[in-house]
Amino acid sequence: PPASPPASSGAAELPCAPAVAGQHISLQHERGQQQVFCGLAGIVWLHRKIQDAFFLVVGSRTCAHLMQSAAGVMIFAEPRFGTAIIEDRDLAGLANAHAELDRVVTRLLERRPDIRMLFLVGSCPSEVIKLDLARAAERLSQTFAPAVRVVDYSGSGLETTFTQGEDACLAALVPLLPAATDSAPSLLVVGTLADVVEDQFRRQFAALGIGPVDFFPPRRSTALPAVGANTRFLLAQPYLRDTARALEGRGATHLPAPFPLGAEGTLAWLKAAADAWRVSDADFATATAAGVERAERALARYRPALAGKRVFLFPDSQLEPVLARFLSRELGMTLIEVGTPFLHRAHLAAELALLPAGTLITEGQDVDAQLDRCRASAPDLVVCGLGLANPLEAEGIATKWSIELVFSPIHGFDQAGDLAELFVRPLERRQRLTGL
């Protein structure tokens, strides 16, 4: 279910100039009713990435239903996520929730010896009853060490959006990363990427002579990358504020860059690492030429369907400013409004600088007011969450589910065409349905 924090006393729109790069854009803040999934949704892609981890949501039946429906397409014999249901007795304080949790975890780990890391994922109900999951994780870690590590983070839906679940998960892992002892610099790519994309980037960095390279999160929890003062990190996702801060706290240095979506974004992202490794411009051009060429050829196929079309992006995944840059600069779409739940000014500075002059960015949401603006603008395509997509489709507006963009492999040169195609499909479907 979408997390719907209570409406504020009134929507406040405060147009102001951004304090960082992107002075040419128009930034407004909005507060009010939101329509977003909670951070539990992150489990859907995190459990696929960290293959020896289990995500145990400590929550209600509502949380269990969310996981079931969000991840329902991927139910298999031995799932690596589940929900320890908090019953009415727990909510009323009649049961010892810690003892119950210990019992559930013991049973789970006895049945599943393949699990090496157990995440206790907090939810709205566990926070309401003030269940101290940090204490539980510490206690269970001692019980099950060294075979299993137990880590806690919150996926609660209050005042958050669904991609913050990944940020909270990775930030919780940062203290467990071993200390790097090497004096040579190393590169850490931060943010969940599909394995196929990770392999492509590994080859690309090797061709550039950049390394050693690690990815965080890793595919196995037993292979956590080391971090230290010589670690340089690139963010692969724009929603990792707390993780980046935690890595900086361990001495690592962020390499500011646009995000690797589309040919242009991927090239600029790689260039940030190449500059840190002092790769010459000529060598950089040689090592990336084939990738750029493949991406541009793929994009050319989809540009005619998208160029000149008007797109409205609702705030949902925090990928919106990055997608807006890709859609406007590489596919010729016109941006009506670019919503984002939160705007991390520093991490997105390079993206904001690339947006067309006059781009309207809305941080936060007052969903009814935004829907009114959306309808009035008669967009060709709306990028939004599942809760808004069906009603807008019923009104005859083509929509793209933003959560799909987080599940799909969309990063890098070789996925640029696939990313463009994700926006072409709803337009084609509408065309087939209406004949227009």
Residues that bind ligand SF4 (CB under 6 A): 1, 3, 38, 40, 59-60, 62-63, 66, 123-124, 155-157
* Smallest distance from ligand SF4 to CB 85, Å: 11
Give whichever of 40 and 235 is closer to ligand SF4, judged by the CB atom: 40
- Residue 328 CB, shortest distance to ligand SF4, in Å, is 33
Contact 410, 236 (CB under 8 A): no
Nearest distance, CB of residue 361 and ligand SF4, angstroms: 26
Q: Is 16 annotated as a binding residue?
A: no
Shortest Å, Cβ 269 to ligand SF4: 32
User: CB 65 → ligand SF4: shortest distance, Å?
Assistant: 8
Q: Give the residue with the Cβ less far from ligand SF4, 63 or 118.
A: 63
Q: Which is nearer to ligand SF4, 63 or 227 (CB)?
A: 63
Q: How far is the CB of 245 from ligand SF4 (least distance, A)?
A: 23
Residue 89 CB, nearest distance to ligand SF4 (Å)? 18
Cβ contacts of 111 within 8 Å, gap of 6 or more = none
Give whichever of 168 and 361 is closer to ligand SF4, judged by the CB atom.
Answer: 168
- Comparing CB distances to ligand SF4, the nearer of 62 and 334 is 62
Do the beta carbons of residue 377 and residue 337 sit within 8 Å? yes
Q: Which residue is closest to ligand SF4 by CB?
A: 157
d(CA 429, CA 332): 20
**Dihedral (C-alpha) 67, 72, 77, 82: value to the nearest 10 degrees?**
0
Smaller CB separation from ligand SF4, 66 or 234 = 66
Q: Are 38 and 102 in contact (CB under 8 A)?
A: no
38 is in an annotated binding site: yes
Q: Are 275 and 393 in contact (CB under 8 A)?
A: no
Q: Work out how close the CB of 137 gets to ligand SF4 at its nearest, in angstroms, rounded to a whole number.
A: 18
Distances in Å between the Cα of 194 and the Cα atoms of 135, 198, 362 are: 32, 6, 29
Distance CA(263)–CA(273), nearest Å, equals 16
C-alpha 173/C-alpha 164 separation (Å) is: 14
**Residue 246 CB, nearest approach to ligand SF4 (Å):** 22
List CB contacts of 282: < 8 A, sequence separation 6 or more. Answer: none
Asked whether the beta carbons of 224 and 173 are under 8 A apart, the reply is: yes
Alpha carbons within 13 angstroms on the beta-carbon side of residue 314 total 33
Which residue number, 266 or 318, has a Cβ lying nearer to ligand SF4?
Answer: 318
For ligand SF4, the closer CB: 83 or 362? 83
Specify the residue, 102 or 127, whose C-beta has the smaller distance to ligand SF4. Answer: 127
| Binding residue numbers | 38, 63, 124
| Binding residue numbers for [4Fe-4S] cluster | 38, 63, 124
